[in-house]
């Protein structure tokens, strides 16, 4: 059994023996962002792992997340390495800090997710949108379906959230 799909002309294949990713992306297929939560210490973690990085317990449950967070850091790719991304430059590599579990278990820790900035209809963001986003921008998850029961998370500017006056951006445009 496997999840099969295609994204930006790249084939996607997630085998069921990769249980953690199979389950994570199956939830994405239902347009739900979930994180593993340890049954012992109750901390959530990201990305999917085979045991708890805080207490090593192997068992966890999948807890639904709000999908809301802020850009913690970013990179902006102007020279794409992968051929398929050349048509999409500049594109943003966002590190999104989710609202859940901020500064836990230690100060400066958090649930952070790697992902691309997208438009509201789940396309990679054009350059004028990229130029408006920086550290502090409030973003919200959205899903792009790429196969049967399979979707991937992308991040869009959260239209309903209160945004910072000016998110922090690299000083040279």
Partner 1 sequence: MNQELNASSSKHLRGKYAIVGVGETEYTRGSGCTTRTLGTRAVRAAIEDAGLTTSDVDGMLSYSYNDSTPSPIIAGDLGIRLDFHMDVYGGGSSIEALVGIAMGVIEAGMCNTVVIYRAMNGFSQVRIGGTGRGGRSALSGSSLFTRGIGLSSAGQMFCQSFMRHMYDYGTTPEQVAHVKVIHSEHAANNPKAYYKQRTTVEDVLSSRMIVKPLHLLDCCVETDNGTAIVVTRVDRANDCRHTPAVIQSVVGRCIKPRGDMHYQSGPISTVAGHYAKDILWPNAGVGPKDIQVTGSYDAFTFTTLLQLEDYGFCKKGEGGDYVSSGVMRLGGERPNNTSGGHLCEGYTHGVNMVIENVRQLRHDVDDSCAVGPDGKRQHTFEYGEGGCRQVKDVELTANLGWGTPGIGSAMVMARGG
Which parts of 21-40 interact with partner 1 (CB under 8 A)? Answer: 21-22, 24-25
How far is it, in rounded angstroms, from Cα 80 to Cα 155?
20
Structure letter (DSSP) for residue 125: P
Scanning 34-42, 59-67, 82-90, 156-164 for contacts with partner 1 by CB under 8 A, the matching segment is 82-90
SS3 of 6, please?
strand
Choose one: 16-24, 29-37, 38-46, 85-93; the region binding Zn ion (CB under 5 A): 38-46
- Check residue 81 for interaction with partner 1 (CB under 8 A): yes
Number of neighbours of residue 76 by Cβ within 10 angstroms = 19
Is residue 161 within 8 A of residue 122, CB to CB? The reply is: no
Least distance from C-beta 160 to partner 1, angstroms? 24
Neighbours of 33 (CB within 10 A): 20
Angle at 172 (CA atoms; ends 170, 173), nearest 5 degrees = 95
14, 28, 52, 141: which one binds Zn ion (CB under 5 A): 52
Q: Is 74 in the site for partner 1 (CB under 8 A)?
A: yes
- Distance (Å, rounded) from C-alpha 115 to C-alpha 86? 17
Q: Report the residue from 40, 50, 61, 73 that binds partner 1 according to the rule CB under 8 A.
A: 73
- Does position 87 bind Zn ion by CB under 5 A? no
Q: Do 72 and 65 touch, CB atoms closer than 8 A?
A: no
Nearest CA-CA partner of 64 in 31, 92, 88:
31
Using the rule CB under 5 A, give the single segment among 52-60, 112-120, 131-139, 162-170 that binds Zn ion: 52-60
Query: By the criterion CB under 5 A, which residues form the site for Zn ion?
Result: 38, 40-41, 52, 54-55, 57
Query: By the criterion CB under 8 A, which residues form the site for partner 1?
Result: 7, 10-15, 18, 20-22, 24-25, 45-49, 53, 72-85, 88, 90-91, 93, 95, 106, 108-112, 114-116, 135, 152, 168, 170-172
């Amino acid at each position: 059994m496997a999840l099969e799909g295609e994204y930006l002309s790249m084939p996607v294949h997630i085998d069921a023996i990769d249980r953690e990713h199979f389950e994570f992306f199956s939830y994405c297929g239902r347009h739900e962002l979930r994180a593993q939560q340890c049954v012992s210490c109750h901390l959530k973690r990201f990305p999917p792992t085979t045991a708890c990085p805080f207490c090593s317990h192997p068992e966890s449950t999948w807890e639904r997340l709000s999908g809301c967070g802020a850009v913690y850091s970013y990179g902006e790719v102007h020279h794409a390495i992968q051929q398929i991304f050349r048509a999409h430059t500049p594109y943003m590599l966002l590190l999104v800090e989710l609202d859940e579990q901020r500064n836990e278990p230690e100060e400066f820790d958090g649930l952070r997710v790697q992902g691309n900035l997208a438009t509201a209809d789940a396309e990679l963001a054009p350059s004028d949108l990229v130029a408006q986003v920086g550290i502090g921008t409030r973003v919200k998850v959205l899903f792009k379906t790429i196969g049967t029961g399979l979707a991937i998370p992308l991040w869009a500017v959260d239209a309903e959230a209160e945004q910072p006056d000016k998110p922090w951006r690299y000083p040279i445009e």
